[in-house]
Every structure is written in structure tokens, then in C-alpha cells.
Amino acid sequence: MKVKNDEIDITQCPIAPVQKIISGKWNMVILYFLSQGVLRFGELQKKLPNVTQAALTKQLRALEEYKLIHREVYKQVPPKVEYSLTEIGVNFLPVLTALEEWATDYQKLEK
């Protein structure tokens, strides 16, 4: 990283752009569940009972904007919407796996 007047130039940090993606309160959990397969909104809601509908919608829209997930809308009544990982989302899975392993090790330290 470049240093300017004793300050870190964050634009030189390759991880900085990713921070907004992984900092979403439920983003990592949503990606984890979608790594197991395609899910409808209601299915995700059941897996995340402590998350409000509004918060889940906001996180899903952000992940879609970051191009990590795909939202497929089926034209039927009642409407059907499914979420899945995009190619870049699938490419993120090794990172997610590494974080899962680290989290398991970390939890052991807390005991």
C-alpha cells in the first residue's frame, strides 16, 4: 500500500472493494445457504428466522448488485422467484469454505 503523509492509501489495497460485499450483516450466511443449491425467497426466510423480510430483501438486492447471486423471476401466478449463485459467486466458494474452517477453529478458542 502506498503511504501519503503517514496515511494509508486505501485505494491501493486489493481487498478494499470486497469489504462492502462481505460486511453486509447477512451476506455471508446467504451465500453459504445458496452454495447448497437454488432457493426461493421463502426458503431463505425459513433458514434465517431472525432476519426481517425487509432486511433479507435488502441483502439479496445488494448481492445481486455485486453480481454474486442471480434472481430468476418466473412469470406465473403466484409469482415464483429463485436465487442462485452466479459464476463469480461460485468462484467465491473457496473463500467461504476457508472462512468456515477459520470460524470453526475460532469457536474452539472461545471455549
Domain CATH for 34:
1.10.10.10
For the cut 70, the answer to whether the pLDDT of residue 13 exceeds it is yes
DSSP 100: H
Residue 72 makes CB contacts below 8 A (sequence gap 6+) with 81, 82, 83, 84
Q: What pLDDT is recorded for position 56?
A: 96
Which pTM was predicted? 0.82
The band of 5, judged by pLDDT with boundaries at 50, 70 and 90, is low
Expressed as residue numbers, the domain containing 91 is 3-110
Q: Nearest 5°: phi and psi at 36? A: -90, -10
Distance CA(9)–CA(1), nearest Å, equals: 6
Tens-place pLDDT, residues 101-110:
998 999 888 7
> Are 63 and 69 spatial neighbours (Cβ–Cβ below 8 Å)?
yes
Cell reading at 87: 459464476
The band of 9, judged by pLDDT with boundaries at 50, 70 and 90, is confident
Q: Give me the number of domains the chain comprises.
A: 1
Q: What is the mean pLDDT of the chain?
A: 89
Q: What pLDDT is recorded for position 20?
A: 80
